[in-house]
Amino acid sequence: MLTAIIVLAAAGLTLALATQIGVVLIRGAFPPRGRMIDVAGARLHVVELGPRDAAGPPVVLLHGASSNLRAMQPLGERIAKMRRVILIDRPGHGWSTRERVADSTPAIQGRMIAEALTRLGIIRAIVVAHSWAGALALRIALDHPDRVAGLVLLAPVAYPWRGGAGRYNDLISAPLIGPLLAHTITLPLGYLVTPSGARGVFAPQPMPDDFVRDSETLLLLRPSEFIANARDLVTLKAAVVEQAPRYAEINAPLSIIAGDVDTTVTTGIHSRPLAATAPNAKLIVLSGVGHMVQYAAPDLVAFEIEAMADRMVQPAATADKIAPANL
């Protein structure tokens, strides 16, 4: 019995040491690329692209779970040729921090992001959000409607679903056992299974070459972020139960793009009911497409964002043309 305890203790210490070494290596391989903005309860990592004086509202890109802003950067770079683009690591993800792990809900994170936009001098923006962040963008539109010029939601979470967030996320979110797992086995195990997990999220489309490296997905394996991500997932269902009855209040233009074979966030549970509820919603369902719609149909997604931004500019442009004739 004593021998078994010694062996387990030694294994635990070895895994903890391996995790600490792994964290140092991951941090060195994927340093922050933007600026840090302090808000109440968090410090947010923000990357800005495109011309600051571009016509129309800026475009804010929000990433989903198990991710960071780099997963949205290819889309951001595509639309930054003519638009001001803001990519944000959600609180606790990428290089953003949050003071409390419990600050996991769309309501709290939405307040933090709205504050960050204020500090950037942005009054209104088009919010583009993927997956988990769909619920976040919807909450921003509900709680801060004057800040949202429009929404473009990509495979968004919007409503409660059958089941939970996964047993391992439940364990990681639990006191004591969660931090113990996060500081020992999560990083070594995650390093092995991350590529196959990412391929599963892209299915049936192939995962782009070097996606795990280019998206800096390994940042997720750091204990603090892994715990924050698990907490986000575990508390999300209750959050959407609370906010879903209010979706009819959203008057901002809303474009929803989803795949009909998405097994991560089922279109029939989330996107279709949302399109039927929000008064100014447009739904595009892509045949044969899974969860990563911004990679499967980047031209279409960029077109929808550009079209929404152009609609915001046209009234002012038209007024400018008419005004001289009326003087």
Residue 323 maps to a domain: no
Report the sign of the C-alpha dihedral through residues 156, 258, 201, 307, in that order.
Answer: negative
Residue 261 maps to a domain: yes
What proportion of the chain, given as a percentage, has pLDDT over 70? Answer: 94
Residue 280 maps to a domain: yes
Total of domains in the chain: 1
pLDDT at 12: 82
Residue 322 maps to a domain: no
Residue 317 maps to a domain: no
pLDDT at 10: 78
Residue 53 maps to a domain: yes
User: pLDDT-derived band of residue 3, with 50, 70 and 90 as boundaries?
Assistant: confident
End-to-end CA distance of the chain: 94
How high is the mean pLDDT of the chain?
93
CATH number at residue 289: 3.40.50.1820
**What is the extent of the structural domain holding 184?**
2-312
Residue 96 maps to a domain: yes
User: pLDDT-derived band of residue 112, with 50, 70 and 90 as boundaries?
Assistant: very high
| Host H or E run for residue 179 | helix 177-182
Mean pLDDT of 55-82: 97
Nearest-angstrom CA–CA distance, 243 and 58? 26
pLDDT digits (tens, 9 = 90+) for 218-237: 999 999 999 999 999 999 99
Nearest-angstrom CA–CA distance, 130 and 126? 13
User: pLDDT-derived band of residue 323, with 50, 70 and 90 as boundaries?
Assistant: very low
Residue 186 maps to a domain: yes
pTM of the predicted model as reported, rounded to 2 decimal places: 0.94
User: pLDDT-derived band of residue 43, with 50, 70 and 90 as boundaries?
Assistant: very high
pLDDT digits (tens, 9 = 90+) for 280-306: 999 999 999 999 999 999 999 999 999
